Chain A
């Protein structure tokens, strides 16, 4: 099992460009998450999907959109990138039933720089 995979690993964009970060999991998990990690700020939740067909905003959703394509895949789109979106982006998944304390399994991250 590959666990959680993310593509690309690195990306450099110019201000105003768009891109989609891809995430896939092979653990048959219900819930998937997108986080960003900035120095001194831990991980902040951007969007999450509790189950296939549903998505909800997290702590910092502005400037991002998501799509839960199927149970395996959850993509994050930047429509018009800004320098403030320079960060490391992590996708995670969990079994994710309400009231659970499931482990979240993280991908290796995408390092995004917006010039």
Chain B
């Protein structure tokens, strides 16, 4: 069974601060996805990283996939209250017979105070 450890579980910061969320595993994933979930809704995909060492930017969000494809990070620059939500990483072993099944981390609840 593949496991993804996500940290921290909770993050409470002031508007304008920077933050990083980590996602670590002892297993290799063919790809790593980051989702954001707002209260009362389902998760929505932010980004997919596929290549070891890959860095993707989405406005103030920077996503990195580790060289060995076992870990990933999400960095937010100058956080805003609109960034508040639950952030989930999810790994895919799509190279096997899993048909895109995802293993999710426990999630990070981010609160950005004005």
- Interface flags, B34-55, vs A, CB<8A=1, else 0: 0000001111110010100000
CB pair A96–B99 under 8 Å, yes or no, is yes
Interface residues on A, range: 20 to 34
CB pair A43–B88 under 8 Å, yes or no, is yes
CB pair A45–B101 under 8 Å, yes or no, is yes
> Could you say which residues of chain A place their CB within 8 Å of the CB of B95?
99
**Interface residues of A, dominant DSSP:** loop
Cβ of A102 under 8 Å from chain B: yes
Known A43-B43, A59-B1; contact A104-B102, beta-carbon cutoff 8 A: yes
Closest to A91 in B: B42
Considering only residues 48-76 of chain A, those with a C-beta below 8 Å from chain B are 48, 50, 58-59
Cβ of B63 under 8 Å from chain A: no
CB pair B100–A102 under 8 Å, yes or no, is yes
Number of A-B contacts (CB under 8 A): 73
- Interface flags, A88-111, vs B, CB<8A=1, else 0: 001010101111111110111100
Cβ of B73 under 8 Å from chain A: no
CB pair B42–A101 under 8 Å, yes or no, is no
> Could you say which residues of chain A place their CB within 8 Å of the CB of B30?
99, 101
Cβ of B105 under 8 Å from chain A: yes
Give A94 to B88 CA distance when docked, in angstroms. 18
> Could you say which residues of chain A place their CB within 8 Å of the CB of B31?
101
Known A101-B30, A108-B41; contact A50-B99, beta-carbon cutoff 8 A: yes
Cβ of A44 under 8 Å from chain B: yes
Considering only residues 6-48 of chain A, those with a C-beta below 8 Å from chain B are 31, 33, 35, 40-45, 48
> Could you say which residues of chain B place their CB within 8 Å of the CB of A42?
4, 6, 88, 104-107
9 pairs of A and B residues whose beta carbons are closest in the complex: A106-B42, A42-B104, A50-B99, A101-B31, A43-B104, A42-B106, A103-B45, A42-B107, A102-B100
